[in-house]
């Protein structure tokens, strides 16, 4: 929470070999070699994702999601909701999207 506003934060990365970024997407700086989300990411095997988070398997379109909602008491009462979505192709992660919403 920041100044009484509900904050929504989302970051997504996707492999696009030989393709241009989708309309509306930002272009990563050439110096950016990756983003460490602290979880299995682009190029990881789906087994590494399942080992990290627990049971799960991609749906028919290759999407796999996990979510968490945690009430926090200090420094004041609020809730943090986090979600993580993967797209898997051929057993390998090709897209990861992480988001967090903090409410009071």
User: Could you tell me which residues come within 8 angstroms of residue 15 by beta carbon, excluding any fewer than 6 positions away?
Assistant: 42, 43, 94, 95
Q: Which tokens belong to 83?
A: 């979600």
Q: Which domain holds residue 68?
A: 1-12+39-104
pLDDT computed for residue 45 by the predictor: 95
How many domains does one find in the chain?
Answer: 1
Q: What is the pLDDT of residues 40-91, one digit of tens each?
A: 999 999 999 999 999 899 999 999 999 999 988 877 888 889 999 999 999 9
pTM for this entry: 0.73
Q: Residue 58: inside a domain, yes or no?
A: yes
């Amino acid at each position: 929470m920041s100044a009484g506003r509900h904050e929504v934060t989302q970051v997504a990365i996707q492999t696009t070999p030989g393709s241009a970024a989708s309309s509306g997407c930002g272009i990563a700086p050439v110096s950016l070699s990756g983003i460490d989300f602290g979880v299995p990411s682009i190029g990881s095997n789906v087994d590494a994702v399942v080992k990290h988070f627990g049971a799960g398997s991609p749906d028919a379109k290759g999407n796999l999601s996990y979510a968490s909602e945690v009430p926090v008491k200090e420094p004041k009462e609020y809730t943090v909701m986090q979600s993580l979505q993967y797209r898997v192709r051929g057993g390998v992660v090709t897209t990861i999207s992480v988001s967090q919403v903090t409410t009071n």
